[in-house]
Structure 1
Amino acid sequence: MIEEFKSDLENLTSLQIYRKYILGGDCHLLDNHKLFELREVICDQFQIEFNDVLMVGSGKLGFSIKESRRFGHFNDESDIDIAIVSTALFKRVWQEAYLYKKSGADWPSSRKFFKYLSDGWIRPDKLPPSSYFDFTDEWWKFFNELTSSNRFGPYKIRCGLYHSHFFLQEYQTICIDQCIQEAF
């Protein structure tokens, strides 16, 4: 798969690679049944559409395209990375975080939280502490229980929340563009 991907770096645009490998193609780690099951349980938890849940990262591709682990194979240290693309859920969290900050509250990761927010996605590890922010507790409790269930293997399941497909595509194509630049 890596060789095919590298070959496509020479022949396809980053958008085409995104569509072929991130949005399309088979999932390396999970068969269709398990991937359906994972997406379904996430949809039920957050009351979002099935197509709002995508598997990304090395679990999807079999290797990483992130700069720090570029072309490293999925292994026992890897996470299952999920992208939720839901404007409604994003808006809910954004509004709750804004009201929390407006109340005068601050948290150590607030600057980074709002930086990622301006890039169109929410990193849950930058949310306010769960003792003060219900969504943080809901999020981590769900994904930690899903991880410890081992239903999808002995891997951490981690997820980012995106405002729209535009921002997911932008995030992914940054890494793809870096792969293209390294190839030439």
Structure 2
Amino acid sequence: MSLEEFKKSCINYTPDEVVDRYLIEQPSYFFEHIHSPKGKEYEFKKEISKMLNVHIRDIVIVGSGKLGFSMKPDDSFSGLYSFIPFDGKKNKKSDLDIAIISSPLFDREMQNLYDHTNYAKVKWRERDSFTFYILKGRLTIRNLPGEFQFTKAVRDVQEKYRMEYGREVNLEIYKSWHYFETYHQQNVRSIQINLIA
């Protein structure tokens, strides 16, 4: 799928259709065009499902590794989308972002976070930052306290594939499909507004 096709789809389809078609159902760009040999996405997801004890259908590659370009707004202007290609930044490989949609895993990591904030000195401003994402049913390491670490099983997944693929691997853990779909649908709505304007 090209960027132009994606943009047309954002205008012609509803946000839930765009998320279903391109973020959930479509094979990922990383496993179709970057990682060799092609078609290893099933094995990748199956291994993660065993390591984290989650269903294989609850693992979704997101971001530029999924589409071939980023859906993030521009850092300098939040209303502008640059659609940066995968591995398109100078001297930096793109991260591989993986969403895990699992209530039991989310709850385990929430308990881990609770224990951490009980024993570590976490500033209230920092708490406000990660509390926002927790209320959105989403845990991602870049939005959590600096010294916090996910449980060993999650860290093992990140480290295994960081070594294997030679790039950062970020896991995002969602409480349910509602939170995952709503988050991405809101992003598609913002893109629609950007493209129409």
Q: Check whether TM > 0.5.
A: yes
CA distance in 1, matches of 2:110, 2:150: 13
Query: How much does 1:121 deviate?
Result: 0.5
* Counterpart check, 1:113 vs 2:130: yes
Q: Over residues 17-71 of structure 1, what are the superposed CA-to-partner deviations in whole Å (9 max), with x where a residue is unaligned? A: 1111111122211046311122122111111111111111111111111102631
After alignment, is 174-183 or 118-127 more displaced?
118-127
- What residue identity is the alignment partner of 1:89? L
TM-score, length basis structure 1: 0.85
Question: Paired residue for 1:123, among 121, 125, 140?
Answer: 140
Residue-by-residue CA offset, 1:62-119 (whole Å, 9 max, x unaligned): 1111102631111152111100000011011112322443x45333543322221111
Which range is displaced more, 166-175 or 68-77?
Answer: 68-77
The TM-score normalised by the length of structure 2 is 0.80
RMSD of Structure 2 on Structure 1 (CA): 2.2
What SS is found at the alignment partner of 1:44?
helix
Report percent identity of matched pairs.
24
User: More deviation in 71-80 or 140-149?
Assistant: 140-149
Match of 2:171 in 1: 159
Q: Which residue of 1 aligns with 2:50?
A: 44
CA contact (8 A) 1:122 1:160 kept: yes
Structure-2 residue corresponding to 1:12 = 13
Counterpart among 150, 160, 163 of residue 148 in structure 1? 163
Q: Give the partner amino acid of 1:54.
A: V
Distance 2:4 2:55 in 1: 34
Runs of 5+ unmatched residues, structure 2: 33-37, 75-80
Structure 1: any 5+ residue segments left out of the alignment? none
CA distance in structure 2 between the partners assigned to 1:96 and 1:55 by the alignment: 24
Q: Is the 8 A contact 1:110 1:128 kept in 2?
A: no
Q: Does 1:91 align with 2:107?
A: yes
